[in-house]
Amino acid sequence: MNKVLLSFIASSLFIQSNFGFAGSLQEENKQVVTRFYQKALNEKNFDAAQEYLGEWYIQHNPLAQDGLEGLKNYINYLKINYPHSHSEIKRIFAEGNFVIVHVHSVLEPNTQGRAIIDVFRLEKNKIYEHWDVIQDIPAESANNNGMF
């Protein structure tokens, strides 16, 4: 009986510690993406954002350049052409090594902006890969639900 009870307790502790670790890793990954978003897209500071990036950066958006240099070029493009742009993370989800953000992005003040879903893949708390889907926010909607 004692062996069974001890085995049950050990199994429970193992399961709890593994689920707790996965949960904390996912929370850390969400923080990495949130900080990256602030530095890269709101402050438009590639050097500060690079702290959250891995050794390489795979870009899946077919309209964007691949790699760290491509990301640096995009951030500089924003800095020059849309210095007042701002992105607000409305929702953030994490599953395994992936973080998904639902974002309201406004390139120019006093405009509707865009709804964006960004998907990031991380390794060891660094961003290595990115996908996105972007939709302009229309002036009028067929419903009253809003995009956020």
DSSP output for 68-107: HHHHHHHHHHHHHH-TT-EEEEEEEEEETTEEEEEEEEES
Measured in whole angstroms, how far is the alpha carbon of residue 105 from the centre of its chain? 13
DSSP β-ladder status, 98-106 and 114-123: antiparallel
CATH of 2-136, one of 3.40.50.2300, 3.10.450.50, 3.50.50.60, 2.60.120.10: 3.10.450.50
pLDDT in tens, 43-89: 999 999 999 999 999 999 999 999 999 999 999 999 999 999 999 99
Give every CB contact of residue 50 below 8 A, 6+ residues apart in sequence: 68
pTM of the model: 0.84
Domain residue extents for the chain: 2-136
Spatial CA neighbour of 84 closest among 102, 111, 58, 116: 111
pLDDT in tens, 4-24: 544 545 554 444 444 455 679
